[in-house]
Amino acid sequence: MVAIRVPRSMRAKRELLKHAPKLVENGKKMLILHGTKTSAVLNSVLADIFHLKRDHAVKYTKKNDNIRPFESGGETSLEFFSLKSDCSLLVYGSHSKKRPNNLVLGRTYDHHIYDLVEVGVENYKSIESYAYDKKLAPKLGTKPFFAFIGEHFESVEELKHLKEMLLDHFKGEVVENLNLSGVGRIFVCTAISPTTVYMMHCALRLKRSGTSIPRMELVEVGPSMDLVVRRHRFPAESLQKEAMKAPGHAKKMKNVTKDPIEGKLGRVYIPDQELGKMTLTNDIKGLKRERRDAKKNKEHSKKQKVNNPE
């Protein structure tokens, strides 16, 4: 169990607010884990994935014996590490005779396993095996393009699920405006068969085209691999309904504005008043009933004394 600590300073409170749920989430962090046994190919795959996501990734190098993603009770360690490292994306690598070079991609909601996709890595080429101009190397913080080629991404449920998983793992932060010069790489995913996807990572080279939009050329910079879908698990219906729930928008108040300096401001409209039509009465609604009745009785007794003097 993780001990719950109450923040005692404003700095600690600000750190907790960064990890709190938001209407528009920042770039999700990825947690990379090793299984009980891993191969040299799988170690290189995990290292390259960490290299591509090193701004928003946490990598654990120790072996984990208690992680069984698709078995009941084997998800406890994954959820614990997700909570400890504050990561909502998971990449877990393991190697066995039954499932060689096995890679599990997962997502969490509220630090509970949301869905999982298990793929096998084949025909892998690392980043170091490519020779290219190092000026074309993708820079930190650049947004990648995604190209999904093949009709299987729209017709096969397994590849639909894998497409969502790859987008969520490598897309980075959500932005409204994007400068073309800041886009320097692209992931090309080609559906070879209903269960196999060829994935490669390329750099974008911008060249003159005679127009305001430059001509783009792809230079493969690695890594590249074949992903063979083995097992996948969709999210539970109740958990999916809770995760997809959108927060209700606050009701807009009329004549109320917010200013960054003065804060909340309101505008009050008062109708025009005419002195000729204004009448003042002694029957004031703000007074309590007992006080109002007592005042009326007092005035009535005074009138009787004036009309009937002794």
CA dihedral 61, 65, 66, 71 (to 10 degrees): 110
| Shared domain check, 217 and 297 | no
Q: Are 166 and 194 in contact (CB under 8 A)?
A: no
Q: Is residue 310 part of a domain?
A: no
Rounded Cα distance, 190 and 152, in Å: 9
The predicted pLDDT at position 249 comes to 57
Q: Alpha-carbon dihedral of residues 183, 161, 227, 75, nearest 10 degrees?
A: 110
| Paired tokens of 210 | 């005679």
Determine how many CB atoms are found less than 10 A away from the CB of residue 121: 22
In a domain, 18, yes or no: no
In total, how many domains does the chain have? Answer: 2
Based on the fold, state whether residues 262 and 233 are members of the same structural domain: no
pLDDT for position 309: 57
* Cβ neighbourhood burial of 191 (10 Å; 0-12, 13-18, 19+): buried
**Residue numbers of the domain that contains 112:** 27-243
| 180: Cα separation from own chain's centroid | 24
The span from the CA of 255 to the CA of 266, in Å, is 6
Residue 22 lies in a domain: no
| Domain shared by 238 and 272, yes or no | no
Do both 230 and 291 map to the same domain? Answer: no
| Residues 197, 219 share a domain | yes
Residue 306's pLDDT is 60
Give me the phi and psi of 93, to 5 degrees please: -115, 135
Least Cα distance to 224 among 201, 205, 194 occurs for 201
Residue 250, pLDDT score: 57
The answer to the question of residue 50 being in a domain is yes
How far does CA 73 lie from the centroid of its chain? Answer: 26
162 residue type, one letter: L
Q: Across-strand partners of 264?
A: 258
- Same domain? For 262 and 182 the reply is no
Report whether 223 contacts 201 (CB < 8 A). yes
Same-domain pairing of 216 and 167 = yes
Predicted local distance difference test score (pLDDT) of residue 230: 94
6 belongs to a structural domain: no
Note whether residue 248 is domain-resident. no
Asked if 82 contacts 75 with a C-beta cutoff of 8 angstroms, the reply is no
| Same domain (yes/no): 180, 299 | no
Same domain, 83 and 53: yes
- 230 and 265 share one domain: no
Residues 137 and 169 occupy one common structural domain: yes
Q: In this structure, are residues 59 and 32 in contact, taking their beta carbons and an 8 Å threshold? A: yes
Q: Is residue 21 part of a domain?
A: no
Indicate whether 289 and 229 sit together in one domain.
no
Residues 65, 231, 117, 198: what is their CA dihedral angle, to the nearest 10 degrees? 120
User: Do the strands 144-149 and 112-125 form a parallel or antiparallel pair, or are they unpaired?
Assistant: unpaired
pTM for this structure?
0.72
What does 128-156 look like in DSSP terms, one character per residue? GG----GGGSPPTTPPEEEEEESTHHHH-
In sequence order, what are the residues at sequence separation of 6 or more whose Cβ sits closer than 8 angstroms to the Cβ of residue 253?
A: none
Which CATH number characterizes residue 103's domain?
3.40.50.10480
Q: Of 148, 212, 210, whose CA–CA distance to 181 is shortest?
A: 212
**DSSP readout, 164-197?**
HHHHHHH--S--S---GGG--EEEEEEEEETTEE
Helix residue spans in the chain (DSSP H): 10-19, 40-52, 76-85, 152-155, 157-170, 237-243, 289-307
Contact indicator for 105, 116 with CB cutoff of 8 Å: yes
**Domain assignment present for 207:** yes
pLDDT-flagged residues of the chain (< 50):
none
